[in-house]
Amino acid sequence: MAASSTARNSTTPSLSSERFVEVSPSRALGVDFGQKRIGMAVSDPTNTLATPLDTLVRRAGKRPPIKQMADIASELDVGHLIVGLPIALDGSENEWCAEVRDMASKLAQRMGVPVAFIDERMTSVRAERAVRSAGLSKTNREQKGRIDAAAAQLILQAWLDNPEVAR
């Protein structure tokens, strides 16, 4: 638009009086809750790629480390929680699904973010294959934590690629 020496209409805001607010996209956190370990992955700021994080170890008979997970999410500026739901091969939900839903709900509430659930059937098998084909030494390949983190990465990537797959 060409500069003009005529006065601006008072109903048209000038650029100097407009307020621009920069909104930073928040990342998503993918979680694979297990009875022994919790695999986690985080998206990049554009919510395009999932990257595995360190796996947390659950102590037998203890509550899941919700506070530790929420602290990690806070450090990473997470705005979405994506959790793998361990649905049976026949498509039904079992007791473990109910426990995962409960843990996810508590974590989402503590984080103050929405939660989405992704069918995680076969993610551990796919994650194990991916870890084995990564060219790592046998010792590194067989670390269970790597597989759990890779499963969380697959869960999160499924949501990043198609958020409508959430249950």
Provide CB contacts within 8 A for 89, sequence distance 6+: 121
**61, part of any domain:** yes
Degrees to nearest 5, angle at CA 150 with 49 and 35: 130
**97, part of any domain:** yes
Number of domains in the chain: 1
Listed residue (127, 121, 126, 114) closest to 163, CA to CA: 114
Q: What is the pLDDT, as a whole number, of residue 137? A: 59
**146, part of any domain:** yes
For residue 9, pLDDT over 50 is answered with: no
Q: Whole domain around residue 56: which residue ranges?
A: 27-165
**1, part of any domain:** no
**104, part of any domain:** yes
Domain with residue 57: its CATH number is 3.30.420.140
Structure confidence by residue, pLDDT tens digits, 136-146 = 555 554 577 78
Q: What is the pLDDT, as a whole number, of residue 132? A: 66
**55, part of any domain:** yes
Structure confidence by residue, pLDDT tens digits, 16-63 = 444 444 444 589 999 999 989 999 999 999 999 999 999 999 888 888
Q: What is the pLDDT, as a whole number, of residue 145? A: 78
**15, part of any domain:** no
Phi, psi of 118 (to 5 degrees): -120, 135
**19, part of any domain:** no
Tokens of 155: 């869960």
Q: What is the pLDDT, as a whole number, of residue 82? A: 97
Structure confidence by residue, pLDDT tens digits, 54-69 = 999 988 888 889 999 9
For residue 134, pLDDT over 80 is answered with: no
Residue for token digits 């390949």?
Answer: 141
